[in-house]
Structure 1
Amino acid sequence: MSSRRRSSRVGARLKRGGRAVGLCLAIGLLGYFSGMAAGTGAVGHLSVLGYSTETVDEIGLSVAFNVVGAGGTALSYLIIRRNGFDRAFAVDFLRIRRPNWWDLAWIFLGLVGAFVVLVGYQQIVDLIEPLGGSEGTTHSGIEAGREYPALLLLGIPLALLLTGPGEELLFRGVLQSRLKETFPTVVAVGLTGLVFGAIHLPVYAGTEPSAVIVSLGTVTTLGLYFGTLYELSGTLVVPALIHGCFNATVYLTNYLTYA
């Protein structure tokens, strides 16, 4: 094979990879901004109707963000790609199936593993300067819940029913599956984890850059973990339920601590 032909193939491969990454970044950003817009609109309407309280606003924001932002963006991609909703394609592309006993084992062990990964990550951070000893900044939702503990209890069903399934549908189901069509599995998992971490930047924005970096590293590491579980289990149900149970456990422990 001539060097010109090899260069041409490498260039085409890089171009195809660049398009895939750009598309996934655009989808991720669309999910975030459409969710924020829908959440802001929902909270505004609730306020006009006279239902504006911390708890009600949190419900409106969470439902709008996950249903419209995550779910709506994922569904829009599936519809646009097939020029209409193709149920068989969506099920196959997203790798959705009825859970079996092995999946339940994956979910239990995977949830335990998520906290092991979290502890391991923090131990590594403690060894790195200038990040050593940093615990990161608090998620804005957890921070609000510490001030209004009822929000933490409210966050448990929302995490199980909306946040876990919604975020996994968009990031692992759509973005990782799309990247896997262009890149090797390991690269697709890594790129999706990076996008997942970057999209969470607004909720961790704080005054200490090192704390923000640590927090984004936590989210990215968990994103890599969820992506790995998605590939190993072969079904979106596993990371969706583990993600939801993980968030719900965090809400519960914060409630028991700060209520």
Structure 2
Amino acid sequence: MSSSRSIAGTVPARLRVVVLCLALAFGGWLTGYAATLGVQGQVFALGYEAEAITQISTSVAFNVVGTGGLALTYLIVRRNGFDRDFTRAFLRLRNPTIWDLAWIVLGLAGAFIVVVGYHSLVEYVDPFGTGGEGETHSSIEQNRNHPVLFLVGIPIAILLTGPGEELLYRGVVQSRLGEAFPTLLAVPLSALVFAAVHLPVYMGEEFGAVLVSLGTVLSLGLYLGTLYELSGSLLVPALIHGCYNAVVYLSNYLTYA
């Protein structure tokens, strides 16, 4: 026991926080993936082959068990039980106000401005020789064969994906980094973690295109992290994230239906 404590003591405190946050981020993905496989097995065993049912069940498993579940588990373990006041303060949960609605509406428009601006810059500079083109998110690529699944994904994005991912990546990861680093460092560090954990869904044959897509996620992570700090409410990035994904799904549905 004493040797393990001495080893931990030799590692800088800030480095331990970064490692913890990376472990939480990738742990959430792995937990969600494991839950997804389990749910898919149950769905197929029951004889349900409809793509919509599979998507709903796997999305619930990934976001509730993976990102959201791990975030809450961390908060419970950290306080040796569920500490309601600490959780609300740490995650910046409070009653919404009319100003939060303004943050969400304007913030959603800003998210698309950030993404369009990023892609315009990448297309102009073309640092990876891809013409500014990135890899398509694996779920979007799959759904294009069954466009109705984009409509199924809209409420899932708003109710599960946005809140689940923001609970972990902004609520827990960024807040924990903010305890060890100044805000100006905590926000980009959490954005880097957010981008890194999306690598599996953007893997493709062209490495340059993968980097372009991860840059999109990084830009959104920086933007959502900044809004989280400025608004002081987890609800703001959670709904912006969910609504952003929902608009992307709707756009793809109208294109491929």
TM-score (norm 2): 0.94
Aligned partners of 1:193 and 1:224 also within 8 Å: yes
**Counterpart in the other structure of 2:206:** 208
Query: Secondary structure in 2 aligned to 1:213?
Result: helix
User: Which residue of the other structure, out of 87, 108, 119, is the alignment partner of 1:111?
Assistant: 108
**Counterpart in the other structure of 1:129:** 127
| 1:145 CA drift (Å) | 1.4
**Counterpart in the other structure of 2:20:** 23
Q: Percent identity?
A: 62
| 1:13 CA drift (Å) | 11
**Counterpart in the other structure of 1:187:** 185
Are 2:127 and 1:95 equivalent residues in the alignment?
no
Which amino acid in structure 2 is aligned with residue 43 of structure 1? Q
Q: Structure 1 residues 13, 189: closer, same or farther in 2, change over 3 A?
A: farther
Deviating runs (4+, > 6 A) in structure 1? none
Q: Deviations over 1:7-40 (max 9, x none)?
A: xxxxx99801100000000111110000000001
**Counterpart in the other structure of 2:3:** none
For 2:128 and 2:162, the matched residues in 1 are separated by 32
| 1:65 CA drift (Å) | 0.3
Q: Deviations over 1:194-236 (max 9, x none)?
A: 0000100111111111111100110111011000000000000
Q: Structure 1 residues 13, 243: closer, same or farther in 2, change over 3 A?
A: farther
Are 2:242 and 1:238 equivalent residues in the alignment?
no
| 1:123 CA drift (Å) | 1.2
**Counterpart in the other structure of 1:33:** 30
**Counterpart in the other structure of 2:60:** 63
Count of paired positions: 248
User: Which residue of the other structure, out of 61, 70, 73, is the alignment partner of 1:73?
Assistant: 70
Unaligned runs of 5+ in 2: 1-8
Query: Secondary structure in 1 aligned to 2:99?
Result: helix
For 2:10 and 2:103, the matched residues in 1 are separated by 35
Q: Structure 1 residues 209, 249: closer, same or farther in 2, change over 3 A?
A: same
**Counterpart in the other structure of 2:6:** none
CA root-mean-square deviation: 1.3
| 1:129 CA drift (Å) | 2.7
Aligned partners of 2:130 and 2:208 also within 8 Å: no
Query: Secondary structure in 1 aligned to 2:12?
Result: helix
**Counterpart in the other structure of 1:8:** none
**Counterpart in the other structure of 2:136:** 138
| 1:134 CA drift (Å) | 2.5
Unaligned runs of 5+ in 1: 1-11
Aligned partners of 1:197 and 1:219 also within 8 Å: yes
Aligned partners of 1:176 and 1:227 also within 8 Å: yes
